[in-house]
Structure 1
Amino acid sequence: MFEEKVGIITGGTSGIGLATAELLAKEGMDVVIASRNSEKGEEALSILRKWSPRSIFIKTDVTNSQDVKNLVSQTYSTFGKIDVGFNNAANTEASSSATHEFKEEDFDHLINVTLKSVWLCMKYQLQVMTKQNSGVIGEYVVNGCHFMFGRDRRVCGWKKRCDRFNEISCSRIWPSTYKN
C-alpha cells in the first residue's frame, strides 16, 4: 500500500509513534524515526527493519530548529522525497507534577515539545512537500488536562480523563491551491 513512500515519525521510539511506524513499515513505507534517545531509536529501528529494510533512525531534539532542519534535510537527501510527516513527539516526564508544583522551565519544555516542535517539523517538511507538490502531515500530540494541570482532573473541570487531543494547522498550507 505504501511501497516507495517515505515518512518521518517524531516520537517514533515508543507508544503511538512506534505503533504507527510499525504499521507503515508493514505496509511497505520507508520510515525515518526521530527521537532524542539513540538507544531506543536503534531498538525501534531493529523492529521496523523486519518489514522495511531501508528505514533509518536520526537522533533529533525536536525543540531545536537546527536538529529538525537536519532531520528533514537528511531524510530528503537519503530518499529524495518526503511523503508523510507524523509529528508525534511528546513530553511525559513533566506529567507527574500538580499545577502549583510545576516549574516554569518544565512548562516551557512541555510547550516546546508538544507545540513548537510540531510547528518546526511542519515548517521544514512543508518546504520539501511544496516543491514536490505532494505530501501529508499529521500531528498527534499526546497531552491533555493531566499534563497541564496535574493528575487532579477537578482542577480543569473535567469529570472524565482528558488525555489526548488532535492538533492541526490553523493556517493555509498551500495558499496557491486553497479554495474557499
Structure 2
Amino acid sequence: MSIITNKNPLSSSINEKIVLKGDGLAGFDSNFPRELKGLVQPLDFKYFMYKFNHQILVFKGNFIRHVMTNLITVIISIVMLVLTMKHIMTSWTNLIITGALGSLGVFGSIFAVISENKRIMAHIEETTLELSDRYSDAGLSFNSIQKPQSEPTTFSKMICTASNYNLEIHLRGSANHHHDQWS
C-alpha cells in the first residue's frame, strides 16, 4: 500500500491518494490504512476488500479446476495411446477421441479464462462505482487503475486481468475532514 499526499500550503485543502496494490493471484492488500480512520469503518473496509479478493480467489479455484480437467484429459489420452500400442484399439479411433478431448479441453479452458476475466473486471468496476457513490459525502472516490507497464510480467498477470490493476482511493476535502467519526 502506498500513500501519495498533495497538500497546497496556501489552503486547508487536502488531496490524498491511497493505492492498494494488487499482488497477482494473492489479491489486494486488505490491511486497514490509518488514513481512512474516521472516514470508513474498519469492518466496512474489510468487507469491500473481501469482495475484491473473493473474485480473484474464485478465479484461482476455477483456473485450478480447468488445469486439473486438462490433466485428466492428458491421462485419458495416454491410456488410449497405450491401448492403441497393444492393438486393443485402432489408431484412428484413438486419434479422433484424443483430438476431440484435447481440443474441447483447451478451447474450453481458454473460453473460461476469458469469460472469468471479463466477469471479474466488470465486478471490480461495479464495486468501485458503488463505493464512490456510497462514500462521496466523506470525500472519497474509488478507482481501479492499470499498473505501470514497467512492472515485470508474471504468470498470474498473464492469466488474471485483475492482477494488472491496483485500487486507488482518493481522499478529497479539507484537513479538518479527518475527524474520528467511528473511532
Q: Same fold (TM over 0.5)?
A: no
More helix by share: 2
**Which one scores higher on RCO, CA 8 angstroms, separation ≥ 6?**
2
Which has the larger Rg? Answer: 2
